[in-house]
Amino acid sequence: MTRAYLDSSCLVALAFGEGKTTRWRKRLLGFDQLLSSNLLEAEVRAALLREGVAGGDELLTWVDWVLPSRPLSQEIQQVLGAGYLRGADLWHLATALYLSPYPGELPFLTLDGRQAEVARTLGFPD
């Protein structure tokens, strides 16, 4: 089973039809499982409302939610040790580390340049 962690930026880009949408859609659908923090739902819905874009529900059905059963203090410190990120981006990477303590085993998909840089520093493939 192939799986990947998905940042909100990917779904927002698809919903807005930005960039190479067809390529991203194909890539995302190539995974058996897309995982993300349920923070993604709030971020995607807020972006859609802000821009007056209807829908998004179909895209959210692609995601299996990760609900950590404990504080992610250790993972947050590990991410911050690799580089500074703002709260939501930090939370997504900490959640991905919670899922996969060995980052090389879980692709981290994002369109955010700084977040991608820190993810690579941590060892996540993209």
- What global pTM score does this model have? 0.93
Q: How much is the pLDDT for 66?
A: 97
Q: Is the pLDDT of residue 126 over 90?
A: no
pLDDT band at 106 (very low <50, low <70, confident <90, very high): very high
* Burial of residue 20 (number of CB atoms within 10 Å: 0-12, 13-18, 19+): exposed
Domain 3-121 has CATH 3.40.50.1010: yes
pLDDT range class, residue 19, cuts 50, 70, 90: low
Residue pair 124/104 in contact by the 8 Å Cβ criterion: yes
At 26-45, the pLDDT tens digits run 999 999 999 999 999 999 99
**Rounded distance between C-alpha atoms, residue 44 and residue 13, angstroms:** 10
What confidence tens digit (pLDDT) does each residue in 34-91 have? Answer: 999 999 999 999 999 998 888 778 889 999 999 999 999 999 999 999 999 999 999 9
Residue that wins the pLDDT comparison between 34 and 13: 34
CA torsion sign for 106, 108, 114, 117 is: positive
